[in-house]
């Protein structure tokens, strides 16, 4: 209804004819000589949960900051909820909710005072504010603690409160920048329970970034980002299917000889591991008998695993996400403050 | 585990109904400023230690320094209690510390992330800063009003007109000084590095304002420095209204109640306050610009 661009019609598919929640066209961000984001294109449909996956420094947070109007793109354009992120900045801001990596709560105030401040700042009429505060606090299980100072909250509770606050003014798009970073695994799981519930229950577009592979599984679609570019974009299922290979691991004392034998016999490049080697192959379970016959060294154990998003990342970038974090200082520390 | 089970038991029955939102415009900017101001006051009221610490210093100035120095100064000021002379200066000093600190608390907001919550909201930066100034001004003036209550002990009469004049001047001065604190804090990353900066700036401003000594008959360099100091334009009008309510001999007035002059011309109180307000507006505008930069 708001977006008027000519190719909108072409891009809308199966979402009840609604314009996309986010449209990104050649978005680019430079810091001096450093290209943090190198011209990305994508669309996020209304109601979709869309994940940006990639190592630290891949440009995820820079992209999210541009979409949230916190950083100006160097080139390209984007709309969020139908508004241009540069020329209609305040309209974009009214339609989005934000949860940052670092907390942005006033810890000396109570949970309710933090929410009230936010609601008033976003112009929620006071007649509706109390009911809405109750709804969002119940959604994240913090209604009973509304009058406690945020200072007394655990990390997970603070994050839940920020999610509640991000929803308070009924945004159309909720941005979550690394919503579970720095939380322990159990708390991470509980944050995802709340987010999954939110997805089922609300007509809300969720855009999130993560560098945890397992979290990407919660998304409808995923864009894999590496060194400022989107290297793959699809559903988690399709991405994994596109890899098509299983991972076979064998434990052996003679890894070097085995790698050599596998290269000769099967033409497959195996990678040494701490206890032996691993390789990627189609239909791994059927390959194992042939492998054991051809490897020519003693093998103490074998395992076959279906592809994970880790493998997907590996397949598209040639690196594991962990390696990528160590080896690409994509954004120098001085810019980290802006992310 | 327990957290997981609470999720299952208490899902809200229906999707959340979207709330209405007021449209943007001047009213929403004004509203935003009042909200930011309200939060400043909530924070200030919660921090009782800051309140107490903020009162300690002026009380020492007035009753310890004032009493001690009155023995040296009394011969000169012909019967004027040195504490009476010091009273307006101490009021100004009180709002000065509290107001500049309120402004500088924006560094704390930045360090702990809350500034971001304000800066990403769909409101003008100017209304955020205006709210901070208003909050800092009210907090500082309330704090100074506690000193005002002790006026009698410093030989200042309890005149309603005088008190209203003083409160109005304190509000103006503290608004200007909060803006000044905001400007100091605009580009500083953490609170530790801003504290020495604050000391380095406030102390000379206080000493060169004439808060502690009469500005008449000063050596030229000191007189010039005082006239260039914005705080002098807060101290001198307050002193003039205080002394207009005290019986003063002509000789005494010649020493302690000399108006601020520009090239020999006594500047009227109204104009001094206009100068103060104008400086405040400039400082505020620069601070807004500093806060409006996006990368």
pLDDT digits (tens, 9 = 90+) for B31-63: 999 999 999 999 998 888 878 888 888 888 888
**Is position A336 within any domain?**
no
Contact of A67 with A24, CB cutoff 8 Å: yes
Residues A195 and A215 placed together within one structural domain of the fold? yes
The answer to whether residues A255 and A168 belong to one domain is: no
Other CB atoms within 10 A of residue B58 CB: 26
Residue B165 lies in a domain: yes
Name the closest residue on chain A to residue B114, using Cα atoms: A104
Which residues constitute the domain of residue B153? 27-292
User: Is residue A330 assigned to a domain?
Assistant: no
Using the 8-state DSSP alphabet, how is residue A19 labeled?
P
Q: In terms of domains, do A31 and A168 share one?
A: yes
Averaged pLDDT for residues B23-36: 88
User: What pLDDT is stored for residue A145 in this prediction?
Assistant: 96
Q: Is A311 a member of any domain? A: no
Alpha-helix runs per DSSP H in B229-268? 232-243, 250-256
A211/A324 Cα distance (integer angstroms): 11
> Does A144 fall in a domain?
yes
Contacting residues for B127 by C-beta, under 8 A, at least 6 apart = B29, B30, B32, B33, B36
pLDDT higher at B267 or A315: B267
Whether B282 has a pLDDT exceeding 50, the answer reads: yes
Q: Per mean pLDDT, which range of A110-124, A277-291, B7-21, B187-201 is the poorest?
A: B7-21
C-beta separation of A313 from A42 below 8 A: no
Residue A81 lies in a domain: yes
Point out the residue among A105, A120, A132 whose CB comes nearest to the CB of B31.
A120
For the record, the structure tokens of A139 come out as 């959604």
**Total domains in the fold of chain B:** 1
Distance to chain B for A86, nearest Cα, Å: 11
Beta-carbon separation of B294 and A70 below 8 A: yes
pLDDT at B21: 75
Q: Is residue A60 part of a domain?
A: yes
Cβ atoms of A224 and A316 within 8 Å: the answer is yes
Residue A55 belongs to domain spanning: 23-234
Contact with chain A for residue B1, Cβ under 8 A: yes
In a domain, B16, yes or no: no
* DSSP class per residue in A104-115: ---TTSBHHHHH
Tokens of B172: 């103006």
Alpha-carbon distance A203 to nearest alpha carbon in chain B (angstroms): 8
A169 and A260 in one domain? no
Rounded Cα distance, A129 and B67, in Å: 54
Q: Residue B54 CA to chain centroid, in angstroms?
A: 12
B210-224 pLDDT, tens digit each: 888 888 778 889 989
Given this model, what pLDDT does residue B294 score?
64
In this structure, the answer to whether residues A105 and A205 fall within a common structural domain is yes
Query: Are A46 and A82 contained in the same domain?
Result: yes
Look at residue B153 and tell me if it is in a domain: yes
Q: Write down the pLDDT at residue A167.
A: 92
Q: Looking at the predicted structure, is the pLDDT value of residue B1 above 60?
A: no
> B194 in a domain, yes or no?
yes
* Structure-token match 């709340």, residue found: A194
Chain A residues touching B122 at Cβ < 8 A: 90-91, 93-94, 122
Please tell me whether residues A123 and A70 are part of one structural domain: yes
To test the contact with chain B by mutation, choose from A37, A71, A106 the residue with the greatest count of B C-beta atoms within 10 A, namely A106
pLDDT value for A102? 86
Chain B residues near residue A118 by CB distance under 8 angstroms: 117, 121
- Mind listing the pLDDT tens digit of every residue in chain A (339 residues)? 444 443 333 334 444 567 899 999 999 999 988 889 999 999 999 999 999 988 888 898 899 999 999 899 999 999 999 999 999 998 999 999 999 888 899 999 999 999 999 999 999 998 899 999 999 999 889 999 999 999 999 999 999 999 999 999 989 999 999 888 878 888 888 888 888 888 887 788 999 998 887 888 889 999 999 889 999 999 988 888 887 778 889 998 888 888 989 999 888 888 888 888 988 888 888 889 988 888 888 888 998 888 888 788 888 887 777 776 655 444 443 443 333
Asked if A210 is an interface residue toward chain B (Cβ–Cβ < 8 A), one would say: no
What pLDDT does B15 receive? 57
Residue B68 CA to residue B87 CA, distance in Å, equals 14
A129 and B19: CB-CB below 8 Å? yes
**A91 contacts B122? CB cut-off 8 A:** yes
Per the domain annotation, does B273 fall within a domain? yes
Has residue A194 been placed in a domain? yes
User: Closest residue of A to B117, CA-based?
Assistant: A104
Reading the block at residue B112, the tokens are 């702990």
- A46 — contact with chain B (CB < 8 Å)? no
Q: Mean per-residue pLDDT for B260-287?
A: 93
Pairing of strands A173-177, A205-210: parallel
- Do A35 and A180 fall within a single domain? yes
Closest CA to B291 of B43, B120, B39, B38: B120
What is the pLDDT at residue B73? 62
* Chain A, chain B: beta-carbon pairs less than 8 Å apart: 126
Task: Tell me, yes or no, whether A139 and A250 share the same domain.
Answer: no
Q: Residue A149: helix, strand or coil by DSSP?
A: strand
Q: Are residues A195 and A217 in the same domain?
A: yes
Task: Judge whether residue B278 has pLDDT over 90.
Answer: yes
Contact across the interface for A138 and B10, Cβ inside 8 Å: yes
Whole-angstrom distance, CA of residue A306 vs CA of residue A241: 10
Rounded CA separation A253/A247 (Å): 19
Which positions in chain B touch A193 (Cβ < 8 Å)? Answer: 4, 7
Decide if B15 is inside a domain: no
Query: Does residue A168 fall inside a structural domain?
Result: yes
Please list every residue in chain B whose beta carbon sits closer than 8 Å to the beta carbon of residue A138: 10, 12
Q: What is the pLDDT of residue A324?
A: 67
Distance (Å, rounded) from C-alpha B131 to C-alpha B118?
11
Question: Is the confidence at residue B161, as pLDDT, over 90?
Answer: yes
Same-domain check for residues A176 and A300: no
> Closest Cα to residue A28, out of A69, A77, A93?
A77
Q: How many domains does chain A have?
A: 2
Query: Do A271 and A156 share a structural domain?
Result: no
Q: Which residues of B touch A189 (CB under 8 A)?
A: 4
Interchain proximity B120–A93, CB inside 8 Å? yes
Put simply, whether B50 touches A (Cβ < 8 Å) is no
Question: What CA–CA distances, in Å, run from B80 to A165, B209, B213, B248?
Answer: 59, 20, 13, 8
CATH of the domain at A293: 3.30.70
Report angle CA A298, A303, A305 to the nearest 5 degrees. Answer: 150
- Minimum distance, in Å, between the CA of residue A144 and any CA atom of chain B: 12
């Amino acid at each position: 209804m708001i977006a008027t661009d000519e190719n909108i019609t072409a891009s809308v598919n199966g979402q009840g004819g609604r314009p996309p929640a986010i449209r990104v066209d050649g978005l680019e961000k430079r810091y001096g000589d450093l290209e943090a984001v190198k011209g990305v294109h994508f669309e996020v449909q209304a109601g979709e949960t869309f994940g940006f996956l990639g190592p630290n420094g891949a440009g995820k947070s820079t992209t999210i900051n541009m979409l949230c109007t916190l950083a100006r793109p160097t080139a390209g354009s984007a709309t969020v909820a139908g508004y241009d992120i540069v020329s209609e900045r305040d309209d974009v801001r009214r339609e989005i909710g934000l949860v940052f990596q670092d907390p942005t709560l006033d810890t000396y105030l109570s949970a309710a005072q933090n929410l009230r401040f936010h609601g008033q700042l976003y112009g929620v009429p006071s007649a509706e504010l109390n009911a809405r505060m109750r709804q969002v606090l119940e959604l994240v299980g913090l209604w009973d603690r509304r009058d406690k100072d945020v200072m007394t909250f655990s990390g997970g509770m603070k994050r839940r409160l920020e999610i509640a606050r991000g929803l308070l003014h009924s945004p159309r798009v909720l941005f979550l920048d690394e919503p579970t970073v720095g939380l322990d695994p159990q708390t991470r799981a509980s944050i995802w329970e709340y987010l999954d519930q939110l997805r089922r229950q609300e007509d809300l577009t969720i855009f999130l970034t993560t560098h945890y592979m397992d979290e990407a599984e919660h998304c409808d679609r995923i864009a894999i980002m590496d060194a400022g570019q989107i290297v793959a974009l699809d559903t988690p299922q399709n991405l994994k299917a596109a890899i098509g290979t299983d991972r076979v691991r064998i434990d052996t004392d003679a890894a070097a000889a085995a790698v050599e034998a596998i290269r000769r016999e099967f033409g497959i490049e195996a990678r040494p591991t701490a206890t032996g080697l691993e390789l990627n192959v189609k239909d791994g379970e059927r390959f194992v008998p042939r492998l054991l016959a051809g490897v020519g060294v003693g093998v103490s154990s074998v395992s076959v695993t279906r592809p994970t998003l880790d493998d997907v990342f590996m397949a598209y970038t040639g690196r594991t996400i962990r390696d990528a974090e160590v080896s690409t200082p994509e954004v120098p520390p001085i810019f980290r403050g802006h992310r | 585990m327990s957290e997981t089970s609470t999720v299952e038991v208490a899902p809200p029955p229906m999707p959340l109904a979207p709330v209405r939102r007021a449209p943007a415009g001047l009213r929403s900017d004004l509203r935003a400023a009042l909200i930011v101001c309200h939060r400043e006051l909530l924070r200030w009221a919660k921090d009782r230690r800051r309140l107490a610490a903020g009162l300690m210093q002026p009380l020492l100035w007035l009753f310890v320094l004032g009493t001690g120095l009155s023995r040296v100064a009394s011969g000169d000021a012909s019967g004027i209690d040195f504490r009476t002379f010091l009273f307006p200066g101490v009021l100004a000093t009180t709002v000065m510390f509290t107001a500049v600190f309120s402004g500088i608390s924006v560094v704390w907001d930045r360090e702990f992330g809350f500034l971001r919550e304000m800066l990403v909201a769909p409101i003008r930066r100017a209304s955020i800063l205006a709210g901070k100034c208003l909050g800092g001004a009210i907090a500082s003036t309330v704090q100074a009003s506690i000193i005002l209550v002790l006026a009698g002990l410093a030989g200042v009469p309890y005149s309603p007109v005088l008190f209203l004049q003083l409160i109005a001047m304190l509000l103006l001065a503290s608004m200007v000084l909060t803006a000044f604190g905001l400007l100091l804090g605009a580009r500083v990353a953490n609170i530790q590095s801003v504290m020495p900066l604050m000391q380095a700036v406030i102390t000379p401003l206080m000493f060169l304002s004439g808060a502690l000594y009469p500005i008449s008959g000063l050596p030229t360099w000191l007189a010039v420095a005082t006239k260039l100091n914005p705080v002098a334009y807060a101290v001198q009008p307050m002193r003039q209204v205080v002394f207009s309510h005290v019986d003063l001999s002509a000789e005494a007035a010649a020493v302690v109640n000399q108006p601020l002059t520009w090239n020999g011309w006594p500047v009227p109180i109204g104009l001094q306050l206009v100068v103060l307000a104008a400086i405040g507006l400039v400082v505020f505008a620069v601070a807004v610009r500093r806060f409006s930069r996006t990368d």
